[in-house]
Chains A and B, each alone.
Chain A
Amino acid sequence: MTTALFTHPACLDHDTSPGHPERADRLRAVLGVLERETFHLLDRQVAPRAERAQITRVHHPDYVTRVFDAVPATGYVGLDADTIISPGSGEAALRAAGALCAAVDHVFAGYSRTAFCAVRPPGHHAMPGGWGGFCLFNNIAIGAAHARSVHGISRVAIIDFDVHHGNGTQAVCEHDPGLFYASTHQAPLYPGTGERTERGDYDNIVNLPLRPLSGSPEFRDVMTRRILPALDEFRPELILISAGFDGHSNDPLASLHLVEDDYAWATRKLVECARTHCDGRVISTLEGGYNLKALAASTAAHVRELLCA
């Protein structure tokens, strides 16, 4: 059974202004590498728009309205120092969140066991009531909420190996015993959250901050000793991955030293866990990753494991 790929050209039209690291070329690099022969059998799907009701399972209705009201007819609007939007941003955000919901439906319908959402803007910094860190809507949390509300499951795990802590995703998960959130991230670094002591109301948050210059040994150690056992104990009915590749050694925004093989290894472990607990169901979505070559190579390693593990 193959892996589904959900994306939409509108995600290329979210223009964040010249010089911004979270740029359309990132998605072009990802889609380019997924044209290789290895990925010929990916089940390519067009991401639909998320419905407002899917987004408001996670975000306050007035926040959703504020986002769309802020989208300019021309030019750029800086929602904060990092989060810049332009005329195409609203449609891109709808397709990014819609990709996750559609991927959930696709996997629960049995068309594929795994899926990758090649989308932007990313989502893991978006709070229920606020944007931040290039993110408008929390795509992965919207996917988790959709799975629980439509497909009758109660436990969804989100694993986040982006180099930044997913403060938005943690905010959605920390008071909800049906959600599990585990993150490896560099500390200190934006957004400054994600200490080990932040464990959620139900011990359902696992934060593993890594010191700058940490690499494969440290990453694999915390995955093996902390995240995978906690995930096993949670017994997920669906595993979602916030796949940011900015922990790569060549990434310009952080100082970890992960390599492509670390992402392949982590993906393999998560697919194995999914096979034990939830019939192999894994849905991954693109978060960060700002060196185009490293991003493309890491995505290829990650998606190949979704396809073959």
Chain B
Amino acid sequence: MDKTDHDQTDPTPATLDARGLLCPLPVLRARRLLQSMPAGATLVVTATDPTAARDFEAFCAATGHRLTGTDQHDGVYRFRIVRADAS
């Protein structure tokens, strides 16, 4: 699975290691971090909970943050999220 867009590449994205955390903790912690970031900044989340892909899609749809990339390698999911203008 690889659907990374050609988004504006943030050279130094913030990162969140949510590996080993179960739903809803990866989304909860990403939400908290995104709230402290400027609009347009990128957060890269790594997670291992298989429901994370569905959760981050729903989370971004609900909040307006843009999920610009999702990939999975060896059971580790990586989500690239661009913070919305306002929330």
- In the complex, which residues of chain B have a beta carbon less than 8 angstroms from the beta carbon of A40? 28
B23 and A41 contact, CB distance less than 8 A: no
Contacting residues, chain A, for B55 (C-beta < 8 A)? 308
Residues of A within 8 A of B28 (CB): 37-38, 40-41
Q: Which residue of A lies closest to B28 (CB)?
A: A40
Q: Give the number of chain A interface residues (Cβ < 8 Å).
A: 7
The answer to whether the Cβ of A304 comes within 8 Å of any Cβ in the partner chain is: yes
Within 8 A of B (CB), among A1-58: 37-38, 40-41
Nearest to A40 among chain B residues (CB) is B28
B22-40, CB < 8 A from A: 22-25, 28
Interface residues of B in 1-37 (CB under 8 A from A): 22-25, 28
A37 touches B25 (CB 8 A): yes
Q: Is the interface of B mostly helix, strand, loop or mixed?
A: loop
Cα separation A41 to B62 with both chains bound (whole Å): 14
A contact residues around B51 at 8 Å (CB): 308
Taking the nearest CB of chain A, how far is it from the CB of B78, in angstroms? 20
List B contacts of A307 (CB < 8 A): 23-24
Say how far B68's CB is from chain A's closest CB, in angstroms: 24
Cα distance A37–B40 when bound, in Å? 27
How close is A149's CB to chain B, nearest CB, in angstroms?
33
From B23, B24, B25, B55, name the one whose CB has the most chain A CB atoms within 10 angstroms. B24
Nearest residue, chain A, Cβ from B49: A308
Given contacts A38-B22, A38-B24, A38-B25, 14 further A-B contacts (CB under 8 A): A37-B25, A37-B28, A38-B28, A41-B24, A41-B28, A304-B22, A304-B23, A307-B23, A307-B24, A308-B22, A308-B23, A308-B24, A308-B51, A308-B55
Can you identify 12 A-B contacts, CB atoms within 8 angstroms?
A37-B25, A37-B28, A38-B22, A38-B25, A40-B28, A41-B24, A304-B22, A307-B23, A307-B24, A308-B22, A308-B24, A308-B51
| B residues lining the A interface (CB < 8 Å) | 22-25, 28, 51, 55
